[in-house]
Amino acid sequence: MEDTRLSTSAKAEKRAPFSNLVNALPATVPFVPPEQTERQLGRRFQLRLGANESSFGLSPMAKQALIDAAAETNWYGDATNDALRQKLSRLHGVPMESIAVGAGIDEILGWIARLFLNPGDGVTTSHGSYPTFHYHVNGFGGVLHWVPYRHFYNDCEGLARQAHATGSRIVYLANPDNPTGTFLKQEDIRELRRQLPADCVLVIDEAYVEFAPAEDVLPLDANDPNVIRTRTFSKVYGLAGARVGYAIAHPDTIASFDKIRNHFGVARAAQQAALASLADSDFLNRVIAFVNEGKTDYSTLAQELGYTTLPSATNFVAIDTGSEKAARWWMDALEKQGVFIRVPGVAPLNRCLRITVGNQEERNILAHHMKKLKPQVPINEETR
User: What are the residues whose beta carbons fall under 8 Å from the beta carbon of 205, sequence distance 6 or more?
Assistant: 105, 109, 130, 133, 172, 173, 174, 175, 178, 230
- State how far the Cα of 73 lies from the Cα of 1, in Å rounded to an integer: 42
Site string for a second copy, 345-384 (x = CB under 8 A): ----------------------------------------
For position 276 contacting a second copy by CB under 8 A, the verdict is no
181 interacts with a second copy by CB under 8 A: no
Rounded to whole angstroms, how far apart are CA atoms 334 and 325? 14
Residue 127, class by beta-carbon neighbours within 10 Å (0-12 exposed, 13-18 middle, 19+ buried)?
middle
Beta carbon of residue 371, minimum distance to a second copy (angstroms, whole number):
27
**Amino acid sitting at position 197:** P
Q: Where would I find the beta strands (DSSP E) of the chain?
A: 47-48, 99-102, 122-126, 143-147, 170-174, 201-205, 227-232, 245-249, 308-309, 316-320, 339-340, 352-356
Task: Tell the smallest beta-carbon distance from residue 125 to a second copy (Å).
Answer: 18
- Count CB atoms within 10 A of the CB of residue 116: 21
- In the region spanning residues 231 to 260, those forming contacts with a second copy, defined by CB under 8 A, are 234, 238-243, 250, 252-253, 255-256, 258-260
291 lies in the binding site for a second copy (CB under 8 A): no
Tell me the window of 22-30, 159-167, 205-213, 298-306 that interacts with a second copy (CB under 8 A): 22-30
Region class of 177: left (phi > 0), else alpha (psi between -120 and 50), else beta: beta
Least separation, in Å, of the C-beta of 337 and a second copy? 20
Adjacent-strand bridge partners of 340: 48
Site size for a second copy, by CB under 8 A? Answer: 104
For position 120 contacting a second copy by CB under 8 A, the verdict is no
1, 26, 120, 376: residue in contact with a second copy (rule CB under 8 A): 26
Query: Rule CB under 8 A: is residue 10 a binding residue for a second copy?
Result: yes
Q: Which of residues 304-343 bind a second copy (CB under 8 A)?
A: none
Task: Compose the 45-74 pattern: x for residues touching a second copy by CB under 8 A, - for all others.
Answer: ---x--x-xxxxxx---xx--xx-xxxxxx
